[in-house]
Chain A
Amino acid sequence: MTMVFTNADWALLLLHFLSLSLLAIGGAITTAPEMHSYLVTQKLWLSDSQFTASIALAQAAPGPNVLFIALLGWNVGMNAGGGAAAGAHAWGTAAIGLLLAMLGMLLPSTTLTFVMTRWAHRNRELRAVRAFKQGMAPIVIALLVATGWILARAQVQASGHALAWLLSAATALLVWKTRIHMLWLLAIGALLGAVGWL
Chain B
Amino acid sequence: MSALRPHSCTDLFVSFSLLALQGFGGVVAIVQRELVEKKQWLSAEEFLDDWAVAQILPGPNVVNLSLMIGDRYFGLRGAFAALAGMLTAPLLIVVALAALVGGMADQPQVQGALRGMGTVAAGLIAATGIKLMAALRENVMGMAVCAALALASFVAIVFFHVTLAAVLLGIGSVAWAWAYRQIGRLARAPESP
Q: Is the CB of A64 within 8 A of B122?
A: no
Docked Cα-Cα span, A143 to B136, in Å, equals 15
Over the window 43-59 of chain A, the binary record of Cβ atoms lying under 8 Å from chain B Cβ atoms (1 yes, 0 no) is: 00000000001101111
Contacts of B87 in A (CB 8 A): 63-64, 67, 102
Q: Is the CB of B153 within 8 A of A146?
A: yes
23 contacts between A and B (CB under 8 A): A25-B56, A63-B87, A64-B23, A64-B63, A67-B87, A71-B94, A109-B57, A132-B179, A134-B182, A134-B183, A135-B178, A137-B52, A137-B135, A138-B175, A142-B154, A143-B55, A151-B125, A152-B122, A169-B123, A182-B22, A186-B120, A194-B116, A198-B116
Point out the residue from A57, A132, A188 that lies within 8 Å of B94, measured CB to CB.
Answer: A57
Known A-B contacts: A167-B116, A175-B127. Give 11 more (CB < 8 A): A65-B25, A70-B94, A98-B91, A114-B79, A131-B176, A138-B146, A138-B150, A147-B126, A167-B120, A174-B123, A197-B116
Q: Give 4 nearest A-B pairs by CB, closest first.
A: A63-B90, A193-B116, A171-B123, A148-B126
Instruction: Tell me which of A59, A120, A154, A196 has the highest count of chain B C-beta atoms within 10 A of its own C-beta.
Output: A59
Docked Cα-Cα span, A27 to B145, in Å, equals 28
Contacts of B61 in A (CB 8 A): 26-27
A61 within 8 A of B: yes
B5 within 8 A of A: no
B124 within 8 A of A: yes
What residue in chain B is nearest A163 (Cβ atoms)? B119
What is the number of contacts between chain A and chain B, taking CB atoms within 8 Å?
368
Docked Cα-Cα span, A110 to B61, in Å, equals 10
B12 within 8 A of A: no
Q: Is the CB of A135 within 8 A of B154?
A: no
Q: Is the CB of B57 within 8 A of A113?
A: yes
B71 within 8 A of A: yes
Contacts of A154 in B (CB 8 A): 118
A149 within 8 A of B: yes
Known A-B contacts A62-B90, A136-B56, A137-B139; A146 and B149 likewise in contact (beta carbons under 8 Å): no
Over the window 17-32 of chain B, the binary record of Cβ atoms lying under 8 Å from chain A Cβ atoms (1 yes, 0 no) is: 0001111111111100
Q: How many residues of A contact B (CB 8 A)?
A: 99
Contacts of B157 in A (CB 8 A): 142-143, 146, 150
Contacts of A155 in B (CB 8 A): 115, 118-119, 122
Contacts of B99 in A (CB 8 A): 84
Q: Is the CB of B126 within 8 A of A145?
A: yes
What residue in chain B is nearest A50 (Cβ atoms)? B102
Mark the stretch among A6-14, A16-24, A34-42 that contacts chain B. A16-24
What residue in chain A is nearest B161 (Cβ atoms)? A150
Q: Is the CB of B139 within 8 A of A144?
A: no
Docked Cα-Cα span, A194 to B147, in Å, equals 39
Point out the residue from A120, A158, A175 that lies within 8 Å of B115, measured CB to CB.
Answer: A158
Point out the residue from B33, B67, B119, B164 that lies within 8 Å of A168, measured CB to CB.
Answer: B119
Known A-B contacts A64-B20, A113-B67, A137-B48; A71 and B176 likewise in contact (beta carbons under 8 Å): no
Q: Is the CB of A25 within 8 A of B58?
A: yes
B189 within 8 A of A: no
Q: Is the CB of B91 within 8 A of A145?
A: no
Docked Cα-Cα span, A152 to B118, in Å, equals 8
Q: Is the CB of B64 within 8 A of A109?
A: yes
Contacts of B53 in A (CB 8 A): 113, 116-117, 120, 133
A183 within 8 A of B: yes
Q: Is the CB of A70 within 8 A of B91?
A: yes
Docked Cα-Cα span, A28 to B128, in Å, equals 21
Known A-B contacts A26-B164, A141-B133; A61 and B176 likewise in contact (beta carbons under 8 Å): no
A191 within 8 A of B: yes
